[in-house]
Structures are given as structure tokens and as C-alpha cells.
Chains A and B, each alone.
Chain A
């Protein structure tokens, strides 16, 4: 029984506390967690991700369950996946993953240090370059390089025969290089996020206690080891699951990798879902190995640096010579990472008869005219544009509640499972997910249930959403975690309903990030390749498939012109959306989370 204290005249009164009931009674009834939201989201993500992917991976060992063979349980598919060409592809994949992770971190670490820790001129422009590289699909980067250096490519037409670079490009080094460059933004963002914890005093302490400039750097860089190892793991996982480079440069270089082997298994006769599934499992296992290696590397060490005592770092100030050298280094990177592929694509799109036996160096805008007037070229663009708008909007609407579920405390085991599910889905190759969609939605039982979606735009849209949701939900987790619960509770206690509190408080705080989620999703869907390749409806080609088909028929000029128009279109839409946000969003919305200097 709780003790009741008699109030003194004018004194404070201690109220009895009943177990567990006090806080709940203080909350408005509608502020309590709704048990239904977790359930709804779990079902939704289960249908979108767990069922197709789970079924697909299961078919590797239980093919009969899905009419893919006679054996109820067999490891035969794994035997095939771990022998012959599949094993060769797996070895190549591991090599590409490891190599590109090293390349990406080796580029991203100095880039992040130069952009975030020095007064390097043009930091904002370089950051935009990082984002441009992040948004550029890997196959477009690979194709840009190919168009420039391939036999009969732009340079050869222009009379420059860069044989050495061509040999490098069409081999493991080229594939690793392009995948590595594509991995730089992932590593950069992970490292840049860790840099605020690396206060200048760590470096100054090393210097005043006897370390030279390089020794000091060697002393303090291990402090961000978690970010560096995370970068290795992320880039490794991204590279081994990449399909864009696998289907273009690696294919042309006769350098087979697992994602393309998986694609072949479900796209070419004889179709073998069990083999594809077994290859998918080996890819997942490889990603798991990378994560294990990361954990092992960090075990037993401490890297806790952020505390109330952490003082902000000061930028190293370069002199004129330092600016020149650092600027040349960063400029050189972007020249290679973005300049070469962009130049390759644009120049190729301006050359007449590129890809044909008709040699000569004649510049023309004919290819653009064909793209913009011929329905076989601009119809796919409109189709992809429509899908990108729909998918961007759906993902934007779904990612907020999913992220909210993941950040809300005491959401129970369902939220915990969702977290793991989404994390796993981020690491899973899109090609595996697309193959799972083919398998599940092509089953006779789906037809009998009236869910004959295979080969429809609906299924393609659902797959796009399923592919984009995990990543985009996780993007919102950071900002949502910073949206302190008291902001919403405060609105509720001052009379707002739950919806009003979200509209007046949550939305303004998150608006900038929600817009970026939409843009990220829109750009990603517009030029998406692996899901499109496997799930496009007959006679309705998404943009990436149309480009691929154009290139496969040696219309290199038309294909690259399509690429250029699509990228320019994506940039225009991005610009328009950002401009609209700037004009329409109240200033207070735009100020939240904006840099102060």
C-alpha cells in the first residue's frame, strides 16, 4: 500500500504512485502506441519481401515444393553453384567485392578528410559530385567508360587508340575500378558521418606529445575504424550484389560474376530456379562473411568518442600550394569518376553510326532527334517516368511509418524483427528479389488465387516498391530518431490531435528528408536495371531495358543518347522538385537541419 503524506499548509504534497499507471495516465489516450501499426507493416513487408525472397531461397533445397524438380530436399543446386562456371563466377565476385571495397575506401577516406576537415575550395561542389555519383546507376558509369575506350569507340574514332587502358578496362581491374568508384559515395557517407566525433584535439594531442604530421594521422585515423570497416562491408556487399556492371562491362569483358550467372539461370534456357537460388544463397553468405569480418576486426576495442566533452573540430587551413595539390587530387578523382563516363556517354551520343562498321568521326544530333521522335525510344522513357513517379510517392508514404516503427521505443518484438528484415533486405541483391517475384507470382496457385500478376506492370511496380522501401526507410531512421518524442507529445498536450501533431510538428521537421527520399527513389526507379530486366511486361520496356536492347543491337549512339536524355530528365525533375520545395515550403521547414554556416 502506498504511503500517503498529509499536506502541510502551503507545502508540497507527494502523490501516491501506482505501479506502471502514472505515465500512462498522463499521456493522452491517442498518444499510446497503436498495436495495429506494427502488425499492418509486418504483413505488408512480409508480402513484399519475406514471402518472395524466402520462397526463392527455399527452392534451392526444396525444388519440388515449387514445381521446380522432383526432389523434396536436395543439395544438388548448391553442388552446381559451387562448381564449374558458377564457382568461377563466385570467385570473381569475391575478388570484385574485396577489390572494389579497397578502391572505394582508399578514395573515400582522403576525400572525406579533405572535404570535411580542411578549407579546400569548392567543398559544396565536391559534395554535389558525391551525390551525383551515388545516384548514377552503375551500368551508366560502366557504359560511359566502354563507349570511350571500346574497339571502335569514341577515342578510336577520334584517332586515339588507348590500348593499355582498354586492356585494363576489359578485365578484372576495370570491373573492380568501376565498382570501386561506384562504391565511393557509400564509403564517403559512412566515413563523413564519423568525422564529427574525431575532434581536432585528438590530433593536436598526438602532435604535442611528439608525433609528426603523418604519425598523428596514423594515431587518430583508427578512431574512425568502425566507419572504415563499415565502409568495407557496405561496398563489398554493394559490389557483389551489383547487376549493372555485371550485365555490361563484366559481360563484355568475359569476366563472369555471380549476379549475371543468377540472371542467366532464370532468363536463359534451361531455366533453373534452384541453381539461381543457390547462387543467391552464396551471395548472401558472402555478404554475411563481410559483416562477420567487420565485427571481428572491431572486437575488443573501444571507439567511443562522442560525449558532452567532445569539442568541435577545426578545419585545417591550406596555403595556396596545399589548395592546389588537394584541389588537383579531388578534381582528378571526379574527372575519372564522373568526367570520363559523362564525356564517354555524351560524346558517343553525338557520333554518327557509332557501333556500326561504318567508321569515321562525324558529329551529329541525329541520335537525339531519333530518341525524341521515335516512339520505340521515348515510349519507354514515359513508361519509366510514370512508374518512377508512382513508386517514389508510394515509397515516400510507406517509408515514414516504417521508419517510425523502427525508431519508436518499446514497439515490441515485431519492430525488432522488422529491423532485421529491412537490414537484410538492404544487403540482398535486387536480382535475387526479382527472381523471387518471378518464382512466386508465376506459381499455378497464384493463378488460381486470381493473383496472376507475373508479366504485368502491377508486379513490376510492387517489386520496385519492395526494392526501394528498405533503403529509404533506413534513410529516414536517422532524422526520425532525432525527432524527440517530446516535440509530438508537447503538441498533443497543447491540444493537437495525433494527425495534427504530425502535420504541424513531425512533417516540418522531416520535410527535407522526405523530399530527398522521394527524389532518391524517383531517380533510382527511373533508371533501375535488375528488377526491370527480369520483370518487365511483354512489349512494355522500362527505360533501362530499352537502353540495353538498343545497345545489344549495336545502336550505341541511340542508346547513349537515351541515357543522356534520361539523366538530364532526372536532373530537371530533381531541380524542379527542389525549387518547388524552396518556394513552397515555409522558411522554418527549410531551416530545420540546415547547416548554420
Chain B
């Protein structure tokens, strides 16, 4: 069982609002959660990010008490709520939850929906009415108290769900992909509202989503789940800059992936490595500078994962141009354009932003920012990149100490150092 890490302001484990130790959940043969351990400090906002089937819904349902874990322990404010033979029912965990489909009871008015948690906590009716009114005012729905959920728009319904979750001032707030069924504009607006209201309330929040932008915008900490395992946990900036695995890098946003071989050991800067990648010309390759994410030996087959911010467009003949590419598609976004670039050999870069307008079919220069070009070992399933014979010969003669010398490259060997 792994040791839980406390996120937040350096509090000891005992002060954690939420603490999971070795949490495991199996459904027959399906391992939905495997040995997940983490701890969240009081008033912190944790976002769990993962694709479908990664176990994030199972985790939040275990936290809520809707599911009973197969193994492991859950502590809320220091008390064991699940573990061993103990399983505290949801209504005794002092929490609230916002559901993906909102789960507003259709036969109750907005006011009745919001008042529900107060009635269950036996708050006197006068005080409850005041709190409901105040809560509806906070979410801007005072005039809708007597309406039924179906008479509200999607965004208003979500606000009612949020008001219902916040009104009783629970110790823990759970969010089960609450924005996924809303359109993009509304999602953006409500995301800001959720963040503001939750932080004003001072509640601890656990939020699950499959949307990386949502996770990074909301979370004090972000946890990445893959096949039921927590594969990385940290601040959004840490996860973006130093993803723990190619999976995490892919899931948190990439423009494209280049395959190549690690050169070295000569480095422009100690935290960078040089990688030879193939170009459209099969006899030549480019030499790029990138940031290693793992210990790699010179000559190793690697993949260079490019964040969208790593790719900048320039004149194909410019000195800064590391590679050449052809513009395949462009989408205008007001502030500029998102481009899809073709590098040859079936490689594409997507989501490349530039303010300038390039036409489809135009050849452009591609400049790669080294700190956002992340180097991982090549997946075993993939073949080594088809590099030029000269490079392979040199690589083979370099010896184990890595006596490789930088190769003559297609355009030039300069990549930017933006620190």
C-alpha cells in the first residue's frame, strides 16, 4: 500500500480533510481502482483528471459513500468512513455533491431542492428559508425559487445544483463532471462561478473531469488517473511542465509527437538534451534541443512530445526554423489562427497558434521551444525512427559513454531556450 501524500499547505496527514489509503475497487473482473492513496488539505481544491474508464467516477462515488471500496481506507476529517468492515452511509459523511446530470428532483421547486439538505440536517424552517434565499441570491436565482427545474436553462439548473450543494456548508464538496453536459460558453462561465463560490465557502472540494483545461483552471492540485491508478499528483504547473509519463503528457495536451534518437552527451544547457529526428528528406535529420523527462542513454530511441506552446511558426528560411512543414488546415479564432501542420512521414502538429494568416498548402518554418519539448523513452511497441545512415553509423560508433557528436542537420540545430 502506497503512502498518502498530503496536498496543500504542507499540513501533516492528520490535518487532511480527505485521505485515501490504498483505495481499491473491483467490479467482478474489472479493476476500477487500484491502490489509490492521496490526501487533500482543508479548503483545497483537488481535480481528478482522466479519460473514460480511468476510475475517476468510481473514486468520487466511493468518497460519497455510494460505492463500497473493495479494499483500502477513506478518512474524512480524520475519521474513517470506509475501511475494513466499516462503511458510513452517504448521509452521515457531511458532504454534498454536484452531479453530471444535476439530479434536481423534478417534482420539487428550485427552493425545495435547495432547502432539502437543510431539512435533513434539521435546520429550523425560518433559518432554513433565510439560508435558501441567501444562497439563491449568491447564485443569482432569487426570482426562480418557485420555478420547477424544467423551467430553467441548463446553466440555471447547474446553479441550482451548486446552491443545493453549498447551502448546508458541508465539509466536503464533490463534483462529478458537472460541466460536461453544457455548451462551451456556459462551461467557461460556470467554471469561474464554481471556483469562486467554493473558495468563498472555504470548503474542501474534489472535482472529477476529463477536460484538461477545466482541471488546470480549477484545481489547486490535479491528480491524473490511468486505468484505475493515480499516476501523478501535483500542482497544475508541475504536471504541465514535468508530466510523469507519456500518458500524462498526452492527456494534458500535446500538439504532436516526434520520434528520434537521443544524441549527446554534449548539451547546450545541462537540463536539455539533443535529439535527432527524421525530416521529409530521408537522407537528413534535424537536431533539436529538448527537455528530458527520464534517464536516457545516448542513442536511445525516444519520443519528443510537443506541447502546443512549444511550436512557433517562422519563415522557412529563417535561422530559427528547426523543421519545415506544410499548412494543412487553419481555423480562425478572433485573436489568431489554430493551424494543423504536416511534417511529412505522416506526422502532424495540431493546435499550433499564430496571429498571422498562412494559407493552406503554404510551407512554413517550425521553431520548437526546448522547455516544452518533452523527451520520453520510445514506446517498446514502436519502431525506432528511420534516421539517416550517417547518423546511425555515428551513433553505433559512439560507444557506451556516449561519444556521439552533433549531426549535420537539415536546417539548423538551434532551438529556443525560453526560461
Q: How far is the CA of A225 from the CA of B106 in the complex (A)?
A: 11
* Interface hits, B88-116 → A, CB 8 Å: 89-91, 93, 95-97, 99-107, 116
The answer, among A199, A201, A211, A222, for a CB contact under 8 Å with B107, is A222
User: A310 in the interface, Cβ–Cβ < 8 Å?
Assistant: yes
User: B65 in the interface, Cβ–Cβ < 8 Å?
Assistant: yes
Once A208-B91, A212-B89 are accepted as A-B contacts, the answer to whether A202 and B117 lie under 8 Å apart by CB is no
The answer, among B89, B116, B150, for a CB contact under 8 Å with A304, is B150
User: A20 in the interface, Cβ–Cβ < 8 Å?
Assistant: no
Total cross-chain contacts (CB, 8 A): 96
User: B33 in the interface, Cβ–Cβ < 8 Å?
Assistant: no
* Interface hits, B123-172 → A, CB 8 Å: 148-151, 154, 164-165, 168
Once A212-B89, A302-B148, A309-B181 are accepted as A-B contacts, the answer to whether A207 and B103 lie under 8 Å apart by CB is no
In this complex, which of B65, B102, B120 has the most chain A Cβ atoms within 10 angstroms of its Cβ? Answer: B120
User: B66 in the interface, Cβ–Cβ < 8 Å?
Assistant: yes
User: B174 in the interface, Cβ–Cβ < 8 Å?
Assistant: yes
Q: How far is the CA of A452 from the CA of B90 in the complex (A)?
A: 73
User: A204 in the interface, Cβ–Cβ < 8 Å?
Assistant: yes
A205–B103 touching, CB < 8 Å: yes
* Interface hits, A290-305 → B, CB 8 Å: 301-305
Q: How far is the CA of A209 from the CA of B168 in the complex (A)?
A: 9
What 0/1 readout, one digit per residue, does chain A (307-327) give for beta carbons within 8 Å of chain B? Answer: 111110000000000000000
> Residues of B contacting A213 with CB < 8 Å?
89
Nearest residue, chain B, Cβ from A226: B107
State the interface size on chain B (CB cutoff 8 A). 35
> Residues of B contacting A201 with CB < 8 Å?
99-101, 103
Q: How far is the CA of A383 from the CA of B93 in the complex (A)?
A: 68
Once A201-B103, A302-B150, A311-B101 are accepted as A-B contacts, the answer to whether A207 and B181 lie under 8 Å apart by CB is no
Nearest residue, chain A, Cβ from B93: A208
Nearest residue, chain A, Cβ from B102: A309
24 example contacts (A-B, Cβ-Cβ < 8 A) are as follows A202-B105, A205-B103, A206-B105, A207-B65, A207-B91, A208-B97, A209-B116, A209-B164, A209-B168, A210-B117, A210-B119, A210-B120, A210-B168, A211-B91, A212-B89, A223-B105, A225-B107, A302-B107, A302-B150, A303-B106, A304-B149, A304-B150, A309-B100, A310-B101
User: A215 in the interface, Cβ–Cβ < 8 Å?
Assistant: yes
What 0/1 readout, one digit per residue, does chain A (213-227) give for beta carbons within 8 Å of chain B? Answer: 101000110110100
* Interface hits, B305-335 → A, CB 8 Å: none
> Residues of B contacting A219 with CB < 8 Å?
105, 116
Nearest residue, chain A, Cβ from B114: A209
Q: How far is the CA of A204 from the CA of B103 in the complex (A)?
A: 8
Q: How far is the CA of A413 from the CA of B165 in the complex (A)?
A: 49
> Residues of B contacting A215 with CB < 8 Å?
91, 120
* Interface hits, A173-231 → B, CB 8 Å: 199, 201-202, 204-213, 215, 219-220, 222-223, 225
> Residues of B contacting A304 with CB < 8 Å?
106, 148-150
B106–A223 touching, CB < 8 Å: yes
In this complex, which of B65, B66, B154 has the most chain A Cβ atoms within 10 angstroms of its Cβ? Answer: B66
User: B360 in the interface, Cβ–Cβ < 8 Å?
Assistant: no
Nearest residue, chain A, Cβ from B101: A309
A202–B150 touching, CB < 8 Å: no
5 further A-B contacts with Cβ under 8 Å, apart from A206-B105, A309-B100, are A205-B164, A208-B90, A210-B120, A215-B91, A303-B106
Once A213-B89, A303-B107 are accepted as A-B contacts, the answer to whether A208 and B150 lie under 8 Å apart by CB is no
The answer, among B95, B106, B121, for a CB contact under 8 Å with A302, is B106
Q: How far is the CA of A76 from the CA of B154 in the complex (A)?
A: 60
A206–B107 touching, CB < 8 Å: no
Q: How far is the CA of A208 from the CA of B103 in the complex (A)?
A: 12
Once A204-B64, A204-B66 are accepted as A-B contacts, the answer to whether A209 and B117 lie under 8 Å apart by CB is yes
The answer, among A199, A212, A225, for a CB contact under 8 Å with B103, is A199
> Residues of A contacting B106 with CB < 8 Å?
223, 302-305
State the interface size on chain A (CB cutoff 8 A). 29
> Residues of A contacting B95 with CB < 8 Å?
208
Nearest CB on B from A294, distance (A): 15
> Residues of B contacting A305 with CB < 8 Å?
106
Nearest residue, chain A, Cβ from B66: A204
What 0/1 readout, one digit per residue, does chain A (535-547) give for beta carbons within 8 Å of chain B? Answer: 0000000000000
Q: How far is the CA of A303 from the CA of B117 in the complex (A)?
A: 21
Nearest residue, chain B, Cβ from A311: B101
In this complex, which of B99, B103, B165 has the most chain A Cβ atoms within 10 angstroms of its Cβ? Answer: B103
Q: Which 7 A-B pairs have the closest CB atoms?
A: A210-B120, A201-B103, A205-B103, A302-B148, A207-B90, A309-B101, A209-B117
A209–B66 touching, CB < 8 Å: no
Nearest residue, chain B, Cβ from A224: B107
B107–A207 touching, CB < 8 Å: no
> Residues of B contacting A223 with CB < 8 Å?
105-107
B97–A204 touching, CB < 8 Å: yes
B96–A311 touching, CB < 8 Å: no
Q: How far is the CA of A167 from the CA of B35 in the complex (A)?
A: 63
> Residues of B contacting A204 with CB < 8 Å?
61, 64, 66, 90, 97, 99, 103
Nearest CB on B from A101, distance (A): 21
Nearest residue, chain A, Cβ from B151: A302
Q: How far is the CA of A201 from the CA of B178 in the complex (A)?
A: 12
Q: How far is the CA of A213 from the CA of B104 in the complex (A)?
A: 18
What 0/1 readout, one digit per residue, does chain B (56-78) give for beta carbons within 8 Å of chain A? Answer: 00000100111000000000000
Q: How far is the CA of A274 from the CA of B133 in the complex (A)?
A: 63
A206–B116 touching, CB < 8 Å: yes
> Residues of A contacting B151 with CB < 8 Å?
302
Q: How far is the CA of A207 from the CA of B100 in the complex (A)?
A: 16
Nearest CB on A from B93, distance (A): 8
Nearest residue, chain A, Cβ from B176: A201
> Residues of A contacting B149 with CB < 8 Å?
302, 304
Nearest CB on B from A320, distance (A): 15
A209–B107 touching, CB < 8 Å: no
A205–B120 touching, CB < 8 Å: no
Nearest CB on B from A305, distance (A): 5
Nearest residue, chain B, Cβ from A216: B91
Q: How far is the CA of A264 from the CA of B352 in the complex (A)?
A: 87
Nearest CB on B from A313, distance (A): 11
Nearest residue, chain B, Cβ from A219: B105
Nearest CB on A from B150, distance (A): 4
Q: How far is the CA of A309 from the CA of B150 in the complex (A)?
A: 12
Q: How far is the CA of A307 from the CA of B148 in the complex (A)?
A: 15
Nearest residue, chain B, Cβ from A305: B106
* Interface hits, B26-65 → A, CB 8 Å: 61, 64-65
A311–B100 touching, CB < 8 Å: yes
Q: How far is the CA of A208 from the CA of B62 in the complex (A)?
A: 12
Q: How far is the CA of A173 from the CA of B268 in the complex (A)?
A: 95
Nearest CB on B from A218, distance (A): 11
Q: How far is the CA of A302 from the CA of B104 in the complex (A)?
A: 12
Nearest residue, chain A, Cβ from B116: A209
> Residues of B contacting A209 with CB < 8 Å?
91, 96-97, 116-117, 120, 164-165, 168
Q: How far is the CA of A208 from the CA of B149 in the complex (A)?
A: 19
> Residues of B contacting A199 with CB < 8 Å?
101, 103
> Residues of B contacting A208 with CB < 8 Å?
64-66, 90-91, 93, 95-97, 174
Q: How far is the CA of A302 from the CA of B157 in the complex (A)?
A: 15
Nearest CB on B from A216, distance (A): 8
> Residues of A contacting B121 with CB < 8 Å?
210
> Residues of A contacting B96 with CB < 8 Å?
208-209
In this complex, which of B64, B116, B121 has the most chain A Cβ atoms within 10 angstroms of its Cβ? Answer: B116
Nearest CB on A from B369, distance (A): 40
Nearest CB on B from A364, distance (A): 52
> Residues of A contacting B154 with CB < 8 Å?
309
In this complex, which of A212, A305, A308, A310 has the most chain B Cβ atoms within 10 angstroms of its Cβ? Answer: A305
Q: How far is the CA of A208 from the CA of B164 in the complex (A)?
A: 11
> Residues of A contacting B168 with CB < 8 Å?
209-210
The answer, among B65, B89, B97, B119, for a CB contact under 8 Å with A205, is B97
Nearest CB on B from A225, distance (A): 7
